[in-house]
Amino acid sequence: MSNKTWRLSRYLFKDQLFYLGWSYLTIILVETLLPFGASLLSGTASTFSWRSHLSGLGIGAIFAFFVFIFSLQTYEGFKLFIQNGISRRTYLRARLGNLGLMSLLGVVLAVINDFAISAPLLRVDVFGLLARGPYEMYAKFFGNNVFATVLIYMLFLWIFYLTVGLFGIAVSSLLDLTTKTVRRVIYIVVPILGIFLLGFVASNGNTSQASMGFVNFAKFLLGYRETLGLFNPFMPMLTMVVCSLIFGAIAYTFHLKLKIKN
């Protein structure tokens, strides 16, 4: 990464850090202080559980949402960068550098929140905490090895954030090349198609061949191992890496075609 790209990555990182800080402050306010205020007003403050509210902040999930939203800001960034003599390629590199940094930060925040705040508040160990979230099915892959479990969990999260970010960049790069009308059509048609697809899968029942094939493929992507009866976290990680490469290629292709709109 050149000096210039590194400088621009840091610029994006600092900019997003500011908004991330405000987002977390807002979330904490909404999820803890507001309910506490409401309980004060309703006279139920004595039963208000700080432990319950603080342990369920969903710092990791909020971060994924945050990364996705910021990844969608392709055109906003492009305008500023091209105004200041920065090429599309360098802008994309800076975004990728920033995504790497932000994702790492997100992993650190999520892990601190999970194991240093939520776990003690809920009085559970690492496995007990992981069993409460979406990582539940992979929590026991390394048996009782805490170090390996946490390390792979962190790697899993990092790849997940990177994939979400790259998906956002790919989608927004593509949408930014289309006209408003086309974008509106896509916003309407894609959810309808999604609903039809879900309806199709559901209406074919659990026994149809197509449905079984879909379920088996999903199991394969998620890392289900029938022989052991548990899920392998490396398989979804590999799936996400492949998806990231595809999203990265889409982002690269369309980023280089970005242009200023009237």
Interface residues with another protein (CB under 8 A) are: 4, 7-8, 11, 76, 79-90, 256-257, 259-260, 262
* Phi and psi torsions of 139, nearest 5°: -60, -30
Measured on CA atoms in the order 195, 196, 201, 203, is the torsion positive or negative? positive
Specify whether the CB–CB gap between 58 and 113 falls below 8 A. Answer: no
Q: Say how many C-beta atoms besides its own lie within 10 A of residue 223's C-beta.
A: 19
Q: How far is the CB of 58 from another protein (least distance, A)?
A: 27
Q: How far is the CB of 76 from another protein (least distance, A)?
A: 7
Q: Which is nearer to another protein, 82 or 230 (CB)?
A: 82
Q: Which is nearer to another protein, 51 or 89 (CB)?
A: 89
Which CA distances in Å does 228 have to 72, 140, 231, 232?
Answer: 40, 11, 8, 10
Q: Which is nearer to another protein, 2 or 44 (CB)?
A: 2
The two structure tokens encoding residue 76: 């906003």
Q: How far is the CB of 110 from another protein (least distance, A)?
A: 28
Q: How far is the CB of 89 from another protein (least distance, A)?
A: 6
Q: Which is nearer to another protein, 64 or 251 (CB)?
A: 251
CA distance linking residue 133 with residue 160, whole number of Å: 15
Q: Which is nearer to another protein, 124 or 177 (CB)?
A: 177
The two structure tokens encoding residue 230: 């548990």
Q: Which is nearer to another protein, 90 or 204 (CB)?
A: 90
Specify whether the CB–CB gap between 71 and 167 falls below 8 A. Answer: yes
Q: How far is the CB of 260 from another protein (least distance, A)?
A: 4
Burial of 44 (0-12, 13-18, 19+ CB in 10 A): exposed
The two structure tokens encoding residue 137: 């099915």
Q: How far is the CB of 12 from another protein (least distance, A)?
A: 11
